Amino acid sequence: MILHGYWRSGAAYRTRIALELKGLTFGQAGVDLRTGAQRSDGFMALNPQGMVPALEVDGAVLTQSPAILEWLEETHPTPPLLPSEPLGRAQVRAMAALIGCDIHPLNNLRVGKALRETFGADQAAVDAWAARWITPGFAALEALTAQHGEGWCFGGAPTLADCYLIPQIYSARRFNVPLDAFPALLAVDRKAGEHPAFAAAHPDRQPDAD
C-alpha cells in the first residue's frame, strides 16, 4: 500500500492513524498542497478530484478518507475500529461524520486560501472562521463523548471517531481555538498521545514534514 498525502492534511492524518491502528505496513508519497502538487498530471491521474489522501492498493486507487477507513475496517477487521453492535456502529459513524462533514471541510487548506485570496482575510479572520465551526461541533462531540466514552470517544478502545477527532484537535490548535471547555475531548487527546499508533501518525513524524 502507498498512501499519497500531505503531512498536515487532516484527512491524510486520520487515514494514517487507522493504518497504524491496524498494524499495516504502507509506504508514503508526499503531495505538497501548498505548491499545487495535487493538481499535477501525475497525481490527477491517481485522483481526478486532486485531493488527498489517495491509497494505492492491489492495483486500485482508493480516495476519500471515509471510504478508505471503511475499506480498511472491512478488509482488515482486527483490531476493530467499529463496535460490534449496530447501534454502537451507527453512533461512532455519527461522531466521525460530525467532524468529517460538519467541521473539517470548513477549515481545510483550500477554504483558508479562498478566504485570503477572495475575501482578503488575514490570519486572525481565518482563525475566527475556523473557531466558528470547530467550537459548536466540539461542544456536541464533548457531550457525546461524555455519554459514550470510556477513555476514548466511544467505549474503551480507539474507534473511527478517534481517528477523526485527533487530527481535528491538531487543527484547532493551529487556528488558536480555545479548548478548555472540552475536558472529555482533551482527555482522549492525552490518551492518544501515549498510544504508539497515534504517535506514529502525528504530522511532525511524517517524511514530508517541514
C-alpha dihedral sign at 76, 81, 84, 86: negative
Dist CA 164 CA 137 (whole Å):
12
What is 2-79's CATH topology?
Answer: Glutaredoxin (3.40.30)
Q: What is the pLDDT of residue 170?
A: 98
Taking residues 65-84, what's their average pLDDT? Answer: 98
Domain boundaries in the chain? 2-79, 86-197
pTM: 0.97
Q: What is the pLDDT of residue 12?
A: 98
Q: Over the stretch 151-207, which tens digit does the pLDDT of each residue have?
A: 999 999 999 999 999 999 999 999 999 999 999 999 999 999 999 999 999 999 999
CATH 3.90.45.10 for domain 86-197: no
Phi and psi angles of residue 47, each rounded to the nearest 5 degrees, phi first: -135, 100
Mean pLDDT, the chain, whole residue set: 97
Dist CA 76 CA 165 (whole Å):
21
Taking residues 20-26, what's their average pLDDT? Answer: 98
Q: Over the stretch 85-143, which tens digit does the pLDDT of each residue have?
A: 999 999 999 999 999 999 999 999 999 999 999 999 999 999 999 999 999 999 999 99
Q: What is the pLDDT of residue 149?
A: 98
Q: What is the pLDDT of residue 103?
A: 98
Q: What is the pLDDT of residue 46?
A: 95
